[in-house]
Structure 1
Amino acid sequence: MEEGKDKSSDELLSELLELREQVEELRKAEVERRESEQALQESEEKFWLLFEKSADPILLLDAEKNTYIDCNEAALKLMRCSDKNRLIGLGPSDLSPRRQPDGRLSSEKTEELIGAALKEGSACFEWMRRTFDGEEFWVEVSLAVIPIHGRKILCTSWKDIRERKKAEAQLKESEERYRVAIESSNDAVAIMTGDLHTYVNQRFVEIFGWDSREEVIGKPLSSVVHPDDLAFVNDINIRRQRGEAVPKRYQFKGIRKDGSTIDIEVSATNITYQDGPASLAYLRDVTERGQAEEALRQSEEKYREIFESATEGIFRTAPDGRFISANPALARMYGFESAAELIETFTDIESQMYVDPVDRIRLKKLYQKNGSVSNFEVQLYRRDRSRIWISMSGHTVRNARGEIVYYQGIAEDITERKQAEQALRRSESTLRSVFSAAPVGIAITSIDRVPEWMNEAMTAITGYTAEELKEGGAKAFYTSEEEFARVGRIILDGIEKSGIGVIDTKWVHKNGEIRDVHLRGAAIDPKDISAGLVFTAVDVTNQKRSEEALQESEAKYRMVVENSLVGVCIVQDGVMRYVNKRWCEMYGYEYQEVVDKLDVLATIHPDDIDLVKENLRRRLEGEADYVGYEFRSLRKDGRVINIKLLGGRMIYRGRPAATSTVIDITREKTLESQLLQSQKMEAIGMLAGGVAHDFNNLLTTMTGYGTLLQMKMGRENPLQTYVSNILSASAKAADLTHSLLTFSRRQPQCLKPVDINEMVRGTARLLTRLLTESIVLKTMLHDEDIIVVADPTQMDQILFNLATNARDAMPGGGSLTIETRSVDLDDELSHMYGIDKPGRYGVLSVSDTGVGMDEETRKRIFEPFFTTKEVGKGTGLGLSIVYGIVKQHNGFVTVYSEPGLGTTFRIYLPALVRPHQEERPVPDEIERGHEAILLAEDNEDVRHLIKEILTRFGYTVIEAVDGEDAVEKFNESKEKIDLLILDSVMPEKNGRAAYDEIRKTNPAIKAFFISGYTRDLVLDKGIEDRMLEFVSKPIAPGQLLRKVRKVLDK
């Protein structure tokens, strides 16, 4: 400050201004710095964005540490690295094989290339990388030096060049392949640019006599083309390179280096070579071919006369497969009119004439090796492609250098001879095959019977081969020398007399077994027996044994057939020729009445005669070897039986006959019919049970409330009549549901001894109300009581249903007869009716004089809902219920009816030997109570009715709507409840399931079940038979109250 006092104001002002300028400059510098930093930041952001998003792999390499400090996603993908941290910190040689393809260490070569890049600022080269999973591949590496925060960083960019390398290798391989092909070609190859040679192969140098290719390349066409043809060749060459149309093939006269001339054949095309038009030419020295042609022309005149007049084919052919000349005989041999036509047509002998081109190659090799061939046989094609056999003989004609110029020879057509030879060979082969495969033994021997050849069958008979018998001859397998000599005499005598000797003898097989043999012998040459003998031998050992066994077998089989359980018969000419004992039993005939007397159709039911006749015809005429079918047959007594037949055909007494085995299947048919009927009943029974269950709930409500109403009324009340009628109708409805349940259940109910006579007497009084006045009811009862074990109500149901059916069958009146009797069914009758147990049966017969029915109707009358009545006049259940009741009582039903003659039903029920007295129950009086009852019923009307009845008689009732609700209500009041009343079938949880769960809490709880189903159907819902109390709906109030009291007091 002191110094400032000495300064003038101007100086101070000047300093102030200077300071202000410095401040302004500093401010501007600060702004520029900030702008520069912002630009740098934006540049860096752009760089990193490009770095990360680049499709090419990019890595940043710290040049000083020789390690990667960062990389983008593309680099990680290329290297198959999932984590960038695994790559960062590694060096270039870490991501490379130990050595590069040139053999240098990757580490050394890396340092060299990085150093060059640092020096030059950038570098580009190819490098072999290795991925993290070990695969090696080529990349093109670009290095660029970039300074980052004062450090030298190499930005490394990789380009995957695997495909390029592969293409380069393929190209190199292709170029090498074509180079080798061109260099090894037998033709000269040249490329002409303008009229200068720019490329020639080694063969070109050889043909034109130059020392090396370098001498030729760059020289014009005039160096190899004779002046006489130079203008012509030059013109074609230039025009071709211009793209004009010129001949591709032509010839010219060439000049060798030594000045000698040669004939050249050219095949050329235009190409692009070194980015310009050029000609590619293939050249062939045809001088020798021309010389050969000239030599042929000179010799042709000399030999023309012989050549033209020869009967054998004469030819000259070139090694390349052309005919040079051929005489007329050869032309005719191959199907041509002239030799010229042959030569013009067959231009490539090997492919056009030889059936097997390999034969031409073999022929040329023989010519090359030996200089000639003799009688070379080959098959060739003629002009029309037919084949002929040719025998050729010829020699080669060579030039001065020893090279073959052409082949010359003669050809003979040996087709007929070959065909004869082939026919002979085929005949010999066929005979040998026939002899070898023959089932009889065949041998060719000397006159001394030493085998020269034997077939396999002869070896099998004797055990010896021909070679084994060369020394000892056939004696080896004879039983003795005497037998050997005897056979020889007889065979030779037969040959001399008739040409064939025949004898039966015995041979000893090599294994020691004696064989019976039928032997035949003949001379190979009938004019010269010393030429040898041919023998055939048949091993008849088994045949002789079979003949002996056959006699024994026939006796055995006759015994088997006669004692068979099935009928056996033979039919011929419509007459029974044979029958066995069982057949006679089945049909009721004596044997003498049948064999050769009885017409087979006399035993057939008239309706099945056509069926039997057709099957007999098919067998006898050979249309069918075996048949099997069923039909109805007639016994001698006229009774119809069902027969199952299995039949074949045979020759009997020299003529066709039909054989048959027959089985009586009458009982099986009856059982089958009953089974089908039973299955139908079971199906409809399930439906009936379900309907009755729902109906019983309604009847329970109606009956219950009707009874309660009747209890409240006095006997003098005029409404009593109406209530009685309601209860009566309910009772009838209950009977109907009882009928349905009777039909549906599987076991009879309330079985007890019942006197059929007494049952008929009681029901007959009621039937008079059912029948019309025009129908007379008659009863014919057995003198003695007939006791059966049955349900009385169901027996009444049977009579009512049958009587109703009879009434409807007699609209104009008639008579209804009910009859009882006792019968004993033996085994035969039991078999007839299809029942398992014979014995005493009670029979209830119901007969009417109504309209009757035909066979088809009779078969269906027991089907549920089948009716012949008008709509609305019948349910079709009446006879089905009858059938169901009878089957439940282990009985059976028979029906006899014919149209217009009425109908008779017979019910057979097993009878008791001694009657049992029925104990009549004494009705209990209804007692009142005070206990608490849990009532579970899903039907609201039924539930309310039962509650009303029970509360009227002093009981406390707790209601539950289903099984689940019952369990909950019991758990709420388990100390108070004395009895459970459970409906067996309820939603959510059925009665048995609810009962089982409640018993877990109170095992001693008392209970009974109610259901609209019968007891046997309820079994399926879990109620065990006879273990628990059960009441069927509809339930009358008195029945319900007595059951409650009974269970509570038990």
Structure 2
Amino acid sequence: MDVAGTDRPHPTGGAARPVSGPSGLSASLPGLLAGLTGIGTLAALSASGQVGWPVAGALAAAGGLALWSARRAGAAATALARSDAALRRAADELEGLRDRSRDFAAVTPGWFWETGSDHRYLALSGGLTVLLGCDPRTVFGDSLLDLGVLVADETTWAEYRADIEAGRAFRDLEVSFEGVDGRDLVLRLSAVPVRSADGRFRGYRGCGVDATAETLALVEARFMQAVVHDAIDSVSEGFVLFSADGRLLICNEQYRRAYPTIADMLTPGRSFAEILRAAAERGGYEGEGDIGAWVEQRLTRHLQHSTPVDGRLSDGRWYRISEHATGTGGVVKILMDITELKTREEQLAGQTARLEQTVGALRESELRYRQLVELAPYGIVIWDCTAIRFANGAAAAILGVAADALEGQLLAGFLAEGDALAATLAAAAEGEERRLECDALRPTGERRRLEVAASQAVYGGGPAVLLVMNDITDRRRVEGELQRAQKMEAVGRMAGGIAHEFNNMLTAIGGFARLAERNPADPDRVLTCVQEIAKASERAAALTAQLLDFSHRRVTDEREVVAVAPLVRDLRVFLKPLLSAGIDVAILAADESAHALVNPVTLNQALLNLALNGRDAMPHGGTLTIALAVETPDDAFFARHRGLKPGRYVAIRVSDQGAGVPAEIRDRVWEPFFTTKEPGKGTGLGLWMVYGTAQQSGGAVELEGEEGQGATFALYLPAVEPPASPVGLDPLQVAEGEGAVILLVDDEDSVRRYLRLVLEEAGCTVVEASDGQEALTRYDEAGGLFDAVVSDVSMPRMNGLDLARELESRNQLLPILFLTGYASRETAAGLTAQEGRQIVMKPVAPERLLSALRDLLAL
């Protein structure tokens, strides 16, 4: 193909000859040579005179022009050859660049993309299609601005969108979505703007990478960090970790408790030198030299990671202190409480004096440690979820067998409800630690209460469980006695308040009785006085019942329909001696229609627990509010408690003005044994008992209020209709028109007269006796012709239980109704063990007395 250019004007005005290509130059050379020859000939002719000089001059000029043209054509040909060579070199370099770009794109872990000035995609590399397994536009959309729906945080997307709309470069825009295979994908995009020569924005060129694995690894790392922190807080040893530059990284509560004087300094970021100086200034340094030198000495010892040492720390207990270097240059410090071991060491010191003279200090220490482990009062068992593989002597003693008789035995055979407990403890083999209490069954039939901690172990290369057993039978017995003693102390503190209330009631009873006595002829006045006397006596009975509830002297745990408002109002009497002087009590319980089917004992105890928790939350005083309302909770309440039936509930709210409950422990306050109080000041069972009371009654309990604004505990109980008021006393008959014959036994004359009037009003024939022996005489005199016996329990000469035994020998089917002011559950169980016997608490209303007798006579 001819590559010559078009004709251009000649400098003289004529048309230029083609001179641009080598072929054109070759074609014109013969003519050019011929022209030069002709010019020479004409010059010769002019010289000889054959032609005139003008002609000769013109011919000479034409020859010079041809020579100049030839020279120009040669130069152009040379330049064109150089341009062809440069063009070929540029084409080769361009092809090389294309090959390199393809190679880089093939090995890069991500993909490339390009947009126009309107942010719509111009190109998306194939790597993205392979990664997604589908058309990228179905996920990314058509425009860079469509990525907003894939960014999890709206604030983050707003910042990136502002950069994109302004045409600025951006990095690491993170998008997340579910891939076609169901996996969650996380991608990161970065881009730079493309601009024209005049600076106008022409679009973006960018790349993207798959960050899914990195993100999952980060989430896993954070999870493992939380797990490690939780595990460190759960161990019984003190643990602290310092970084390579001596900064505190992790410290658990056990370690802080060992150093109470500097517990506030043991926070992340503190240097070891700062902590040492604070310890020295607060009493940790007892020398006479420079504190700075002491700090430097301790710091040097800390960095040397010496062998474990034993020492008594500022909390007064002994610890084995060991320091270890980490792989990153940090230091781990572990405190193991060896106070009990030290005590045993002191006891065995006299027995090991000869051994100390012949054996080195290290060997002696190891031997003594092994002896102490073997003599430890807690049992150690390795169980592979099939059989017991190892047990120390303490474990054998706890379970009541010989030391060599446990290996190979089934664990469930030594525990009450063994199969269920074994299934629970087996979870520890998978790493789920368990702590529980259970009963051990010795071969002799004796039961022992155990505290069992289960943790993961390895036996024979397979998973196993390490069980640490502690016999707490005696401790639980002592705790029970201590609780009873504390309760009696609390009852004593309440005595003043109760005496005050009873004096008020006795004043009302005695005053109204005197008023009625002074003017018996005025029926309206007498009726008013009698009604007030009845109210005061009911109030006294309610206080007595609450006092019995508090001391657990009620005879039954069964639920009954309870008027909640009086029960709540009566709390004031019990709280007066228990609350601090700076705490006011506001009781809002005016709704007399509030009734619930609940055990009054547990309800009373639950409200007292909530009130005392509110007291503890206000060490500087405040108002404790107990409010009662009957309400219908909203749908959100029943969504939280799916097991509850929609309807009306009695809500009792106990509110304080304390600091509130921190958000991080709000979900744990209902756990048994969880407490934020100092050791010895709480068992962690108070709120758990409140939760159990709500569950037993078919209700729920919730924590309301925000942190820093006090706490409100709301107890919800299903509302029931109040019992119908009795219209009158129906006759108590054993046959048509025939009243019952009752033997009435009570040592209190006034009580006996009251009961006789009630029975006679119901049509009964009553024979009285003041104690058990007189009752037997009256029984024999009447020939045993009694339909039932109503007897007090506590009486002189012969009590109610002994009377029942004597009457049983005469008539085994004789119904007996016992009346008592107080009785333990054990006593009540003994009185009602035989069919045809019931027990009713005093004071007893006429309707309750007759109802109980009807039930007995109907058997």
Q: TM-score with structure 1 length normalisation?
A: 0.29
Q: TM-score with structure 2 length normalisation?
A: 0.34
Mark the structure with the bigger radius of gyration.
1
If each structure's strand is expressed as a fraction of its own residues, which one has the higher value? 1
